[in-house]
Amino acid sequence: MKGVILDSSSLGDLVDLTPITATLTEWQVYPFTRAKDILPRIRDAQVILTNKILLDRTAFNQNPQIELVSIMATGSNNIDLIAARNSGVTVCNAIAYATPSVVQHTLTLLLNLFTSMPRYLTDTQEGRWQQSDVFCRLDHPIIEIKGKTLGIVGLGELGHAVALTARSLGMEVIAANSSGKKRAATPATPGTDPIPRVTLNELLGRADVVSLHCPLTTDNDQFINAEKLALMRSEAFLINTARGGLVDSQALIDALANNQLAGAAVDVLDQEPATANEPLLNHPNLNLLITPHNAWGALESRQRLIVQMQENITHYLNKAPVRMITGPALA
């Protein structure tokens, strides 16, 4: 049985692929695969590992030998799941492998916004402190997070973990109810106080910082639009470490430019890698922090991902698939 990894470079440097390559007798590992090379590279493979490379209906229809696709991520937007199921292919993913990394990245963005840290670093690098008549610089807002309200949109694995960490720093936490209606509070973890659940509109109006942790679906594409941003307080911040498509980029730019919003931080964009024409990258004067989709990228998290890929393959070979999104057993 042969396996193919289509985009190993998406895992970065220093990771050890041995747990994966030890599962099958033959592996072909490609750092990256362009669209024109997908079909030739999967032609004789029974097991395919991909992070963001697209596997569409054509890929499955022309390759009946494919048995297993293991996604090196949680999201499955790049896989035609219907075509995979119709072709009898098992599709598995990774779950909860990067929680500590995403939590610390989210809190890093939050703290940078509340302390204006990037602006102070720039001021120091450009010599403004050296030109000061007094011992300190207080040109930009510095806000305590203790007592502030964090609004979580997407109270799953990541949202819960961010909520617990924020509470440990003295923040109040509320979460949006996906149904759009108020419902009973949800325990963050056994033994902790429940997290109040409110409507999305109420959350946007109450929160000092809104943090997105929900998957991107056809129902919530660009749901953070001009109308929703207008509900937020002018002192509030928006953080998105989930998916770029959740936020209307132009609406966010307008809200920041018009001081409807105090600032924002995003780790994800509509199109990745970013292009030269990306609107969010062309407004350096806005209070907007952008990181290159690396919230998940701690080395420990990436190595956990590799172990989960190994488990997906070995459990499949033992006829007991784990983390299965779709497959013959779910048809």
**Which residue among 57, 272, 283, 300 is the active-site one?**
272
Q: Are residues 134 and 277 in the same domain?
A: yes
Query: Based on the number of CB atoms within 10 Å of its own CB, is 298 exposed (0-12), middle (13-18) or buried (19 or more)?
Result: middle
Active site (annotated) includes residue 167: no
Q: Are residues 103 and 75 in the same domain?
A: no
Active site (annotated) includes residue 293: yes
**Which residue among 243, 302, 304, 323 is the active-site one?**
243
For residue 186, what pLDDT is reported? 59
- The segments of the chain whose pLDDT lies below 70 read 179-192, 329-331
pTM for the predicted model, two decimal places: 0.91
Q: Are residues 325 and 277 in the same domain?
A: no
Q: Which tokens belong to 67?
A: 């048995």
**Which residue among 293, 302, 304, 323 is the active-site one?**
293
Q: Are residues 158 and 228 in the same domain?
A: yes
Q: Which tokens belong to 34?
A: 């362009």
Q: Which tokens belong to 49?
A: 């590992």
Structural domain including 38 reads 2-97+299-330
Q: Torsion over CA of 109, 128, 254 and 232, rounded to 10 degrees?
A: 50
For residue 124, what pLDDT is reported? 96
Q: Which tokens belong to 325?
A: 């999104």
For residue 329, what pLDDT is reported? 64
CATH number at residue 134: 3.40.50.720
Active site (annotated) includes residue 304: no
SS3 8: helix
For residue 178, what pLDDT is reported? 72
For residue 103, what pLDDT is reported? 98
